[in-house]
Amino acid sequence: MASLKVGINGFGRIGRTLFRQALDRSDVTVVAINDLGNNPANLHYMLRYDSIHGRLKHRVELREHAAADKDWTVTEIHVNDLPVKVFSEDRLENVPWNELDVDIVIDATGNGRNLAHARAVLGESVKRVVFTNSPNAHVDFTFVFDVNDDAFDPDRHRVVAASICDAVGLAPIISRVHRRYGISGGFITTLHPWLGYQNLLDGKPSSTEFKERPDIYEASTYQVMGRSSVGTLIPKSTSAVAAIEHLIPAIKGRLRGMSFRVPTDVVASGVAMLELAEPTTTEEVREFLRTTVRPPYSSYTEEPLISVDYKHSEESCVVDGKWVEVVNGRMLRVVTWYDNEWGYSARVLDVVQRLFESDQVGTA
């Protein structure tokens, strides 16, 4: 089978993690990146050195040379002597993905405008565009392994979303529980590490999303996200429930959720309190989850671990079996752990590979 060529749009936390993981996979090659930073030297530096994931264990060089018969300079990051073109375009469709023979473009920017213009990227080379969020519009399908991967239709689904880390970290288990016992209602609480746009000291919220779409957040969330992220737990609304219900329409309207932004660098946790339609016991649910998880998309452990122990875990989610408990036969608590950068990025690349394989079969 041919080698998959990927372009990454947005070279932030997820973009760089995708790049790092692709370097250790034989089935994916990154050939181009685009980032608004317009500072290739800094992109090169941030790729080589990462405070969470460590120093990159590959030879990396930044090179520039004059384009043939052109009056501009070509910038490339060479990893083990393989060139990766670097661009700084503010529009997804302005990057010459097709000229570079890119098969699939991954948009890791979170920019809503790119969603609206994704189809302009599709062409002779680019067959699919994948977004690392959970939009309701402009995508053909939201793809999460161990939840709805069997519903993917390669003939219809060209612009695809890989959902968000919280949904990928909870939906596989919620879906499995609903299929077995039925879910009448419940609450979801996520504990999510801080993000780069949070403030060190109290001030105005700095997230681009808050600036562009303040209407989609409660006023209280907008306010608390301007508070200091150091040494505090910040309660806020969450998009996790909407993302999970989008993946599992049968439980739409039955869940409520909130999140705490916590002062840790990586690894999130999800706590689901679920009212079951069928009665069960703690022992029965533990055995059901232990024997039906589907590595690497979901796994199960009863080891006494803490968040840092799940760092660089490539599973979508890990059920913490010692905290699985049933009260009065129908109230179930499930706790999951997930590396919101590493595990999530592993699934994005798996989605990309699945899409590519479907295109190869279609052209064979």
What b-and-e string marks burial along 132-171, b requiring 16 or more CB atoms within 10 Å of the CB?
bbbbeebbbbbbbbbbbeeebebeebbbbbbbbbbbbbbb
Q: Do 129 and 158 touch, CB atoms closer than 8 A?
A: yes
Residue 271 parent element (H or E): strand 268-276
| 317 catalytic per annotation | no
Q: Do 128 and 113 touch, CB atoms closer than 8 A?
A: no
- Among the listed residues 105, 115, 118, 165, the single catalytic one is 165
Residue 344 parent element (H or E): helix 342-363
SS3 73: strand
**Residues contacting residue 148 through CB under 8 Å, at least 6 positions apart:** 142, 175, 247, 248
- What are the phi and psi torsion angles at 343 (to 5°)? -65, -40
What b-and-e string marks burial along 26-40, b requiring 16 or more CB atoms within 10 Å of the CB?
eebbbbbbbbeeeeb
Catalytic residues: 165
